[in-house]
Structure 1
Amino acid sequence: MIDMPPLHFAEVNGIRMGYYDSGPISDTPPMLLCHGWPELAFSWRHQIKALAAAGIRVIAPDQRGFGATDRPEHVEDYDIAHLTADLVGLLDHLQIDRAIFVGHDWGGFVVWQMPLRYPDRVAGVVGINTPHLARAPVDPIAIYRKRFGDTMYVVQFQDSQEPDRIFAENVATTFEVFMRKPMPLAPGVAAARPNLAFPQLVEAYDAAKDRRLPILTDEEKQVFVETYTETGFTGGINWYRNITRNWEHSADLDHTVRVPALMIMAEHDAVLPPSMADGMERLVPDLEKHLVRDSGHWTQQEKPDEVSALLIAWRRRRFG
């Protein structure tokens, strides 16, 4: 793969997990990078290179259901209990006591859960785009359905296998649609409400009418396309199919994060806007925030140098 260290494998929590490990093995605590959907450990290629060059050990797995890692059959195998236990299993395999967990998109949700569930294994947490939120007062799927309707992609994922089919039959188009920079806005002009019917956007996509700039080179896009052509999308979509289950099982969980934390926000992320991080300090007392200007949702790929610099500076400042 492009600019990637060798792929390793570990037997963790009942699955075979593929992961990348770079930088000095003596560096501690290492930074463990957790990708979102539809992404891969490859999404961190820029950060893996930069962090390792800065003398920081960095570990990036393809998480459960993605890429080189196993894709269990049952939907319940993708709940947050399994996803967090996978990461603990990876630490155990590597004989690492504690790590700094860094997550983007869905990976952000997972890493914010790590100090709640495994406080003795977590040195710090970094959320990229994904904030840490209080537990919702009702099932989040009901909230999404009421606010955005039945065509909102998360709601669609709950109700049928049709999105899995659409993405799998249009793999290259899926990444053409998703992996682009947002259109710049004129000063004082508010962003339009995003169209969240992602499967239908993919089906109806016309590249000739898309004025957004791609964030991937042709070679980089091909890595995603080849991988998802082989694996399909269902493993990652099953993470969404556990949102209600995760919510139900979190009623007695203390949601306060009691480790040093960094929140990196993207100015133009329409799905996870910076405003979602307002008030995070109530749940994350030791929190730093940084806003990455002129970036959409795929921040570590859109603004790789800035994200890498923020990670390196915070890691050195807080952990030496």
Structure 2
Amino acid sequence: MNLPTNSSNFPEPTLIAVNGVELEVFEAGRQNAGKLVVLCHGWPDLAFTWRYQVPALVAAGYHVIAPNQRGYGGSSRPDEVAAYDVAHLAGDLVALLDHYGYEDAIFIGHDWGAMVVWSLTLLHPTRVNKVICLSLPYQVRGETPWIEFMEAVLGSDFYFVHFNRQPGVADAVLDENPERFLRNLYRKNEPRQEPRPGMVMIDLARAETALGEPLLNDSDLGVYVAAFEKSRFTGGINWYRNLDRGWHLLADVDPIIHQPALMIYGDRDAVAPAENLAEFVPNVEEIHLDSGHWIQQEKPEETNRAILEWLARYDAIRPGLAGGGARLGW
């Protein structure tokens, strides 16, 4: 498989006004209209994270869009923290479907993008045809708001908690030297470490050296650095600052994901697999790859194969639901 290795292979962006913001959207495979896949990145990431998946999906017959979601890249960065809750993030994706003329689509999310895809599927189930998530499994809504629970179990230095309890502190540290933070964060083959005191993201941002091997070549790292030197980190961190708001917003929805779903784990990822995923996602298939957290970048061929084989297998079983992306009147 010929995999692109630099930014010159990625589509050019278009700014699209949706849901009260402008989103920078990268589109490919318009000739495959009718079978839409929407790719949702995590934190601190970009649509560019899907550079290995876009050509493979287009070659397999899919129309693909990958937005820089609100807070990232050249997309809008609202000032209000509440503008980054899951209702707004899901609303952006629904508005993109409307813009491109689709009733529904296949959604693929990694990390925080997976959280958005799971939430979108709960909030707007008729707009989601199939779900594919990487790294982050479905998060069960327990009796205690998520940040409150994490603070009790993992302490005030856990970065989810720190982002919420000390607003602006981590943002400023990460903004000081985006290149160093991103270079230290995007690693592979990292040795396992015991948890240490302190706030891990601040420590990474200040570390002179990093563990493991660099994941990104200089060209690809340059794409990330340029984007975050412009956008800074607060918009993306504000997603974390809405976790408890999201917990409340999801209080009255059906907690079961009824759509067919594929969950891809990295066996060396710090994010733990779900022990009871099938209870809440009954139509799920789970796959494990020998990877760290950045699954689709670290293991692009294996990721593409897993996604395309699952889609093809499901299409063969239920051809009537093959592509997703039923068109609206054009």
TM-score (norm 1): 0.92
The equivalent position to 2:301 in structure 1, one of 302, 305, 309, is: 305
Query: Aligned equivalents of 2:201 and 2:261: distance in 1?
Result: 34
CA contact (8 A) 2:32 2:61 kept: no
Cα deviation, residue 87, structure 1: 0.1
Cα deviation, residue 203, structure 1: 4.4
2:3 aligned residue: none
Identity over aligned residues, as a percent? 38
CA contact (8 A) 1:64 1:78 kept: yes
Q: Which moved more, 1:147-156 or 1:36-45?
A: 147-156
2:47 aligned residue: 41
Query: Aligned equivalents of 1:56 and 1:260: distance in 2?
Result: 18
Query: Aligned equivalents of 2:161 and 2:247: distance in 1?
Result: 15
Query: Aligned equivalents of 2:104 and 2:179: distance in 1?
Result: 38
The one-letter amino acid of 2:174's match is F
1:273 aligned residue: 272
Structure 1 consecutive aligned stretches of length 4 or more whose deviation exceeds 4 Å: none
Tell me, yes or no, if structure 1 residue 166 matches structure 2 residue 173: yes
2:16 aligned residue: 10
CA contact (8 A) 1:150 1:156 kept: yes
CA contact (8 A) 2:23 2:74 kept: yes
Tell me, yes or no, if structure 1 residue 229 matches structure 2 residue 229: yes
Cα deviation, residue 244, structure 1: 1.1
Two-structure CA RMSD over aligned residues (Å) = 1.6
Structure 2 matches for 1:225-304, cutoff 5 A? 225-270=225-270, 272-274=271-273, 277-293=274-290, 295-304=291-300
Query: Aligned equivalents of 1:204 and 1:21: distance in 2?
Result: 36
After superposition, give the CA deviation of every residue in 1:129-151 in whole Å (9 maximum; x if it has no partner): 11012212101111211222111
The equivalent position to 2:204 in structure 1, one of 202, 205, 219, is: 202
2:327 aligned residue: none
Query: Aligned equivalents of 2:19 and 2:200: distance in 1?
Result: 32
TM-score (norm 2): 0.90
3-state SS of 1:220 partner: helix
1:318 aligned residue: 314
Query: Aligned equivalents of 2:142 and 2:31: distance in 1?
Result: 40
1:180 aligned residue: 187
2:101 aligned residue: 95
CA contact (8 A) 1:22 1:58 kept: yes
Structure 2 matches for 1:101-140, cutoff 5 A? 101-140=107-146
Cα deviation, residue 123, structure 1: 0.4
CA contact (8 A) 1:29 1:123 kept: no
The one-letter amino acid of 2:194's match is A
CA contact (8 A) 2:36 2:62 kept: yes
1:144 aligned residue: 150
Structure 2 unaligned runs (5+)? 1-6, 316-321, 323-330
Cα deviation, residue 289, structure 1: 0.8
Query: Aligned equivalents of 2:277 and 2:100: distance in 1?
Result: 32
Structure 1 unaligned runs (5+)? 186-190
Query: Aligned equivalents of 1:305 and 1:28: distance in 2?
Result: 25
CA contact (8 A) 2:114 2:137 kept: yes
Cα deviation, residue 167, structure 1: 0.5
Cα deviation, residue 193, structure 1: 3.3
3-state SS of 1:269 partner: coil
CA contact (8 A) 1:13 1:85 kept: yes
The equivalent position to 1:193 in structure 2, one of 172, 175, 195, is: 195
Number of residue pairs matched? 309
Cα deviation, residue 250, structure 1: 1.7
Query: Aligned equivalents of 2:37 and 2:196: distance in 1?
Result: 33
- Shift of the 264–196 alpha-carbon distance from structure 1 to 2, 3 Å rule, reads farther
Query: Aligned equivalents of 1:104 and 1:41: distance in 2?
Result: 11
